[in-house]
Amino acid sequence: MISIARLSRLAALALSGLLLAALPGCSQNWKQARVELIDPVQALLHKKYPQALASCNPQQVTMLFAQGAASPDVLELIDRFASIDDARAVIDDADMAERRVVAHVTLEIEGILHDGEHLYVRQPRKMVAVRSDAGWRIESDTGGPIEEARAPGPHFEDQAAARGLAFKHKTRWFTDPSGTSRRYVLGSGVAVADVDGNGWEDVILVNADRIELFTNSDGRFTKVSSQWGLGSPVEGARTSPVLSDFDNDGRPDLFVAAEFGQPLFYRNTGTAFELAEAGLLTQGMTVAACTADFNGDGFLDLYLGNHEEPHHKAPQPQGYARNAKPDQLFLNLGNGTFRDATKESGIDNPGWSLTCAVADYDNDGDADIFIGNDFGGDSMYENNGNARFREVTKAVGLNTPVASMSSDWGDFDGDGDFDLFVGGMSSRADWAIDHPSYPSPVPWIVEALFRERVRKQIRGFFHGNRLYENLGGGSFREISTETDTVNSGWAWSSVWLDFDNDGLLDIYSANGMISGPLKDDV
Amino acid sequence: MEFVVENVGRRDEVWADGIGDNSLNGYERNVLLHNRGNGRFVDVGYLTGSNRIEDGRAVAVADFDHDGQLDLLLQNFESEVVLLMGKDTPGHWLQVELEGVASNRDAVGAVVIIENEYGRQSRHVTRGNAFLACSSPVLHFGLGEATAVNRIEVRWPSGSVQSLHDVAADQRLEIREQAASDARASLTEH
């Protein structure tokens, strides 16, 4: 009998199975299904259909229908708009036969109404696509309940240039073991605090090879990197900056982590950042960094989440990768230096960490740590108050088998404990694995006995974001589907904030991996 | 996350950062999930003008111009930084800036709870959550129609608890940690 753990690990292999075009050993059936059914249906429903709607032209919509008549309710819907800025349709699930696909689709339309108001509409639709001699067409298209939101005009405006914040991110290139030049794609970060003590929040902006400081006065920024001892080229590919007062002198000091290099630690003198030896020798490949006073001695410590370079090392095991550089915990000795206390802390996370987020999730007065790991499997550590930790991931219900990019704690339901939002990728193609010929990565006997479970597990990796409600008493419930927070795309940083001052925490999430000159994805 | 992806056009294996002229989940828009207060969220990225199309990475939150509206600083991949300045919300607000004494000076780990006739809200001071980002340490509360807060409770990392009563809205408060025995909080109004 195959254990569930083994089953899930095997199922995880399917992640690459779906994403590889021609996996060796793929059945001919699957290739044929891709070419004849999955790709054309995807093109019809995900692409041509929303494009036709966005044109606001009934003729173009009608052309996609087999019977020469578009659904009246969708024509009524687009008729409400004076112009449509964007329309999207995503297949959520589908019943597939050779010549007929019944799909549940989420349609989203954004545009300007005839009265000038901006409108966002979301509607589930049941769509039937059929294959004829002329190719795939829509046979029927039925709308479910419409949800909509309106606004008179935008609340936000980009004023970076107008306020003096001129900065362009540039990444670094490296050569992989095969000799190929590649871009370092994770990006570099930003930190905010009042560095010069004038009462206005200043900004550190990091480039792969440079650290810049912009000071703020009255909401206007001035670049002062060189005056403050920054702005010269630095080694490594710089990632997370943290501004925090590590020596309790009232001035935020600066820590900047790096992949392919050691972190930099700068002491804030009030007028400059002075590079200091602080004993922060890392494993390298650090992406995530957060501070808290983990041992309660009044000084801020540092937790570092380490990653790996996937071109040098493949994440293993697939779906629950644990072969990256282990994370590290540095305790602040209060004399300007830190000590690596990882071993005694009880933290053992060799996951591919991309994010860490600290909160006292169990309201016992100390700082606990959540770590979101790339390539699968998060980690949650409970602090006993003395920087000794115990892993509680499974015990508290945070052991969803997914890949995570970002995490933030916020009491969104106002019940006094901190809930957790974790950003992850959502796929627009995961419906395809429901096809009977999808090359399952598990042995045929497992596939035959546990098909539903295997498919569910594979789809879990593409689940997207997760919102975990803190139930108090040290457990969580995943509520992203019922709260409509699942899908945002290739999600990176996601944060809680009350942008509209209504007393409720909202979520902002930055999305998108790489945009090339060609708009179509690889 | 980066991994091997399929190339539908050329049908060969490529890596995320070796994609030539193609895109990989490119031209995706950022989302702003608005908490509707009924247990559901709705994406108002388009409606609020915050659905930026750059390849997003880090996001930091602060009220950079002290107008009581939160702003978003976006550090994108291989493109210009974006500073989304918020404006024109009708709701009242309160900002709280903490200074630890027995606790670490930044008061990281401190929890602030406010109460008024509309209910309770809590925030905590963190440094370095999310992804590649370290937002402002100043805590921001939206208050809706409320013009005052009945009670503010600060739970310091040192274990001491401080309370303030009947605080007016629309200001940035500085609260300094007092010894546990001292119930009165020092309070500076901006």
Burial label, B107 (beta-carbon count in 10 A; 0-12, 13-18, 19+): buried
Strands A301-306 and A328-332: antiparallel
Coil vs helix vs strand at A79: helix
The alpha-carbon gap from A270 to the nearest alpha carbon of chain B, in Å, equals 16
Coil vs helix vs strand at A402: coil
Query: Between residues A276 and B188, which one has the greater pLDDT?
Result: A276
Contact (CB<8Å) A521/B26: yes
Coil vs helix vs strand at A400: coil
Contact (CB<8Å) B55/A514: yes
Helix, strand, coil % over all residues of chain A, rounded to 5? 15, 40, 45
Q: What are phi and psi of B9, to 5 degrees?
A: -65, -50
Structure tokens belonging to residue A377: 């499997």
| A residues 23-42 lying closer than 8 A (beta carbon) to B | 39
End-to-end CA distance of chain B: 43
What's the Cα-to-Cα distance from B49 to each of A160, A487, A496, B43, B133, rounded to whole Å? 15, 19, 18, 11, 22
pLDDT in tens, A353-380: 999 999 999 999 999 999 999 988 899 9
- Whether the CB of A356 is below 8 Å from some CB of chain B: the reply is yes
End-to-end CA distance of chain A: 39
Structure tokens belonging to residue B125: 């001071």
Coil vs helix vs strand at A327: coil
Contact (CB<8Å) B37/A504: yes
Amino acid at A61: V
Question: Is the Cβ–Cβ distance between A52 and A45 less than 8 Å?
Answer: no
Structure tokens belonging to residue B110: 């401190």
SS (H, E, C) A339-397: EECHHHHCCCCCCEEEEEEEECCCCCCCCEEEEEEECCCCEEEEECCCCCEEECHHHHC
Q: Considering CB atoms only, which of A245, A508, A517 is closest to B59?
A: A508
pLDDT value at residue A99: 93
Q: Considering CB atoms only, which of A374, A412, A512 is closest to B56?
A: A512
pLDDT value at residue A445: 82
Pick the residue from chain B with its C-alpha nearest to A200: B64
As a whole-number percent, the residues of chain A with pLDDT over 70 amount to: 94
pLDDT value at residue B20: 67
pLDDT in tens, B103-134: 999 999 999 999 998 899 999 999 998 899 99
Q: Considering CB atoms only, which of A290, A499, A522 is closest to B32?
A: A499
pLDDT reading at A52 higher than 90: yes
Contact (CB<8Å) B3/A375: yes
Q: Is the peptide bond before A317 cis (omega within 30 degrees of 0)?
A: yes
Sign of the alpha-carbon torsion through A441, A442, A444, A449: negative
Strands A368-374 and A379-383: antiparallel
Pick the residue from chain A with its C-alpha nearest to B103: A298
pLDDT in tens, A211-260: 999 999 999 999 999 999 999 999 999 999 999 999 999 999 999 999 99
CA distance A374 to A186: 11
Write out the H or E segment, with its range, that includes residue A458. Answer: helix A444-460
Give the residue-averaged pLDDT of A261-284.
96
Contact (CB<8Å) B84/A156: yes
CA distance B140 to A279: 35
CA atoms within 13 A on the CB side of A431: 21
pLDDT reading at A36 higher than 70: yes
Contact (CB<8Å) B91/A502: yes
What pTM was estimated for this model as a whole? 0.90
CA distance B162 to B115: 14
pLDDT reading at A18 higher than 50: no
Strands B133-134 and A190-193: parallel
pLDDT value at residue B78: 93
Q: Considering CB atoms only, which of A249, A354, A484 is closest to B41?
A: A484
Q: What residue ranges in A220-340 does DSSP mark as E strands?
A: 220-223, 237-244, 253-259, 264-268, 273-275, 286-292, 301-306, 328-332, 338-340
